[in-house]
Amino acid sequence: MTLLLYDDIYLEHDTGIGHPENSRRIENTINYLKSGSFFNQLTIKKPRAASQEEINLIHPKAYIQTVKQIADSGGGWLDGDTVISGASYNAAVYSAGAALTAADMIMTGAAKNAFCLVRPPGHHATPERGMGFCLFNNVAIAARYIQKNHKRKRVLIIDWDVHHGNGTQDAFYEDPTVMYFSMHRHPFYPGTGAQDEIGEGEGKGYTINIPLSMDTKPEKYLEIFSEVIDSRVNSFAPEFIILSSGFDTYKKDPIGGLNLEIEHFHALTKIVMKSAEKHSDGMLLSCLEGGYHLADIPRCIEAHLKGLMKMDF
């Protein structure tokens, strides 16, 4: 069974209508999904909020309070890209909480996998600060939560967003218990993710960066992705897999683009599902990151969901 985590609270994170990371991304998506016949095969679940203690698994209390104070004062900007509105803190704790809600349901056998249709996204949020549209790092918090509360020792985070997840990398750069694998356009925002960034100390070798040029063909992308999964990821033998699912690798994305067609998100999902079935009894948690083509992100997400549900696309 596949869960879809969603709440209208995510629409209240007001970045402004001209901002690429705006509420229409998921408003369009939920409306599109509801119009499809397969929607009734999904289990829809409203998330709970993550507590400050849970967010503190990754982010210092001082930073959490900074985000809350800016929201409580009516809003502001963390940087030139990252908006906090009056409702943003509340949306962000429910965004992180969706991943935790899903993790609990997956780990207790209520579902096999889940997709969190959330905003704000998370993978650029470092432990110390938000950036790149992100406030709290949803997947990083989930990884630590799964280790702490569900005793899974080895967690794999796969990131196929067009932008490198610098925040996720920072959180686990010296940690051999969380493997981070990212394929991303490079050089590109945020400037990190070179191939020689492989981790430090005990975490050396547990960060895998595959930087790609903007003219990379989809066939090459899939080939490389599959090779990394089959070799280095499988040797790690993850006990739980988390996906940072960015759909800005889609060829028409207005701020990213890596030439992928909609159907390639179905193919990528099938590759990850195969690894999950091999190592973690099929358990897989996916969280929305980027993807800014307002007309087609619903179709990209549909392809991903059908992959999670083992349906043809």
Mean pLDDT, rounded, for 42-52: 97
pLDDT reported for residue 298: 98
Judged by DSSP in three states, 37 sits in helix
For the full predicted model, state whether its pTM sits above 0.95.
yes
Does 3.40.800.20 match the CATH number of domain 2-308? yes
When the pLDDT of each residue in the chain is averaged and rounded to a whole number, the result is: 97
How confident is the model over 188-218, as pLDDT tens digits?
999 999 999 999 999 999 999 999 999 999 9
pLDDT > 70: percent of the chain: 100
How confident is the model over 279-290, as pLDDT tens digits?
999 999 999 999
Mean pLDDT, rounded, for 215-236: 96
- Locus of tokens 């629409």: 11
262 forms beta bridges with none
The catalytic residue among 13, 59, 123, 124 is 124
137, two tokens? 């790092």
Told to judge if 124 belongs to the known catalytic residues of this protein, a careful annotator would answer yes
Q: Is the pLDDT of residue 257 over 90?
A: no
**Spatial CB neighbours of 141, under 8 Å, sequence gap ≥ 6:** 50, 54, 55, 57, 58, 59, 96, 99, 100, 122
Q: Is the pLDDT of residue 234 over 90?
A: no
pLDDT reported for residue 17: 86
Q: Is the pLDDT of residue 11 over 90?
A: yes
Cα-only R_g, the chain: 17
Domain ranges of the chain: 2-308
